[in-house]
Structure 1
Amino acid sequence: MNFGQIVTAMVTPFNEQGDIDFEATRQLINHLIDNGSDALVIAGTTGESPTLTNGEKVELFQFTVEVAAGRIPIIAGTGSNNTRESIEQTKQAELAGVDGIMLVTPYYNKPCQEGLYQHFKTIAETTALPVMLYNIPGRSAVNMEPDTIIRLANVPNIVSIKEASGNLEAMADIIERAPEGFSLYSGDDGLTLPVLAIGGAGVVSVSAHVIGNEMQSMINNFKNGNLAQAAKEHRQLLPIIKAMFAAPNPSPVKAALNLQGVAVGGVRLPIIALPEDQIEALKLVLPVSEHVAF
């Protein structure tokens, strides 16, 4: 399964009542497809998955598949720290017609490496869909080690990993030892170019909501051998990327989209709206043609 170079972890638009705004979601999907996204992750961390009910997630999967209409792959975030629940949600996502699933490392309960292996293998064996693993020790409090990832890479439909450990040495080890066809994506926007340099496939991105085309340009320049230009673009994008993570995700990126005229509404508690001083700071680095109130 080829997910492309830039996989955008899509925010979930809400209306003024805090419910999913499906018309805004339609507009966002089309905006992302038109502006550099090769695939979308739905109901991931950036999509505020901890605050979405199971029913909302399934409805969102179905709606996104319908709107995307085969133009790009849709990846459903069905991972949790409950193996049985993840299996059930994966089955529902498959019925909704998604193209793949993303499974995050189980958070809070801190399983051992064998527990991680059995968790992911068990879920993968219940679906025909390609599986992207998601290692993010900063949020889950457990790191999936390269040996465990390599074991899982030999499960036939586990085809990729979003690596957000920030450990380039570990990523290089995974890329070196993984079977042919297994891909590694940066889970950190700011490490996209370094990860490409060690053989990564691309990035699962938050910042691509607002700089998707610019990130595509950087990646294409790197792949075409224009290394100096790619490095220059990387440096130019870093202030924007930094701004996207100046507060807990997805508060900054939702504010940025609203500033750019792509209405996505606010966030659900316990995430709070970006303070006014940080919105003003966003305006200084964001490539916006016109600021709009929200």
Structure 2
Amino acid sequence: MLTFPNIITAMITPFHEDGSVNYEAFVNLAKKYADEGTGILVAATTGEGAVMTEDEKLKLFKMTADALKDKTLVMGNVGTNNTAQSIALAKKAEETGVDAILCIVPYYNKPNQEGCYAHFAAIAKATKLPIFIYNVPGRTGGKIEPPTVCKLAHDFPNIIGLKDASGDLDYAGYVAANAPEGFHLYSGDDNLTLPIVAVGGEGVVSVAAHVIGKEMDEMIQAHKDGDVQKAAKLHQKYLPFMKGIFCTVSPVPIKTMMNMLGYPAGPFRLPLVDATPEVRAKCEQLLKDIGKM
């Protein structure tokens, strides 16, 4: 039976200097976060999944699933704006051993709600894997509305969760109130983690967890345990960091920080480029402000 931790780390993908995937570094980093109690999301936005090949993703899925079997939740990103392509990748993901898959609302096409429903329904019918819908209007140019999410969750038992990066607490509140019992609502914005948990969410699919995963887990658990004041204080303490890691397009800041902290995160793949001196200085200061450097 799947268990869902407070934190799912949306992992960076380390690359070698020649641009190839550093699989060993990824798995070692995934083990570190699993030991800290977080789940692992592979090859999504933070992992530069948009510029990875299908073979690279599937290899990462399998290596991570093999390394972390029965230790923590492993989720693979299979979402694209092409329904047939997403279905094909989901079927291949079944063979890798991942526990669940993440599917983004189709970008560029900007389907209406009927199209969004049909897209996710087709994927749900084609795979046995549990599915998380990923709503991120700032990247896709469109969104899936809360009633559509809830209808899908009621109609398809393997649509089990939502990563919501809409920035809209009304959105999260509607899903929390109207989705089936046991539906997993996660924030997709680090800075809104506590507010979303407060309206009925379960946790966060996190970028900040690369650096402050333990602290964010403590914050969420404090709220769940009824210590609202402690949770609020932790939120206030780390909010500048949670917002600061998006001072330029993600994952540039967090990957820059990981390199600063001595992890083999490596370079970026185009069209992303290295942080400017100004962004590097900001990253260094953010780490100093929370005592990590």
Which TM bucket (shorter chain)?
over 0.9
The number of residues matched between the two structures is: 289
What amino acid is aligned across from residue 194 of structure 1 in structure 2? P
Q: How does 1:1-294 map to 2 (within 5 A)?
A: 1-37=2-38, 39-154=39-154, 155-286=156-287, 287=290, 289-290=292-293
Shift of 1:157: 0.6
Q: Report the 3-state secondary structure (helix = DSSP H, G, I; strand = E; otherwise coil) of the residue aligned with 2:27.
A: helix
What amino acid is aligned across from residue 69 of structure 1 in structure 2? K
Q: Is the 8 A contact 1:162 1:186 kept in 2?
A: yes
Deviations, residues 148-202 of structure 1 (Å, cap 9, x unaligned): 1111111111010001111111211111111111121111000000001101011
Moved more, 57-66 or 77-86: 57-66
What amino acid is aligned across from residue 102 of structure 2 in structure 1? M
Q: Distance in 2 between matches of 1:277 and 1:284?
A: 11
Q: Report the 3-state secondary structure (helix = DSSP H, G, I; strand = E; otherwise coil) of the residue aligned with 1:125.
A: helix
Shift of 1:289: 5.0
TM-score, normalization by structure 2: 0.96
Q: Is the 8 A contact 1:62 1:96 kept in 2?
A: yes
TM-score, normalization by structure 1: 0.95
**Where in structure 1 do 4 or more consecutive aligned residues deviate above 3 Å?**
287-290
Q: Is the 8 A contact 2:5 2:37 kept in 1?
A: no
What amino acid is aligned across from residue 279 of structure 2 in structure 1? Q
Q: Report the 3-state secondary structure (helix = DSSP H, G, I; strand = E; otherwise coil) of the residue aligned with 1:123.
A: helix
Q: Distance in 2 between matches of 1:67 and 1:249?
A: 27
Q: Is the 8 A contact 2:189 2:206 kept in 1?
A: yes
Unmatched segments (≥5 aa) in structure 1 = none
Moved more, 62-71 or 164-173: 62-71
Shift of 1:126: 1.1
Q: Distance in 1 between matches of 2:184 and 2:99?
A: 16
Q: Distance in 1 between matches of 2:140 and 2:261?
A: 32
Q: Distance in 1 between matches of 2:219 and 2:238?
A: 9
Percent identity over the alignment? 44
Q: Report the 3-state secondary structure (helix = DSSP H, G, I; strand = E; otherwise coil) of the residue aligned with 2:126.
A: coil
Q: Distance in 2 between matches of 1:67 and 1:135?
A: 29
Q: Distance in 2 between matches of 1:288 and 1:18?
A: 31
Shift of 1:274: 1.2
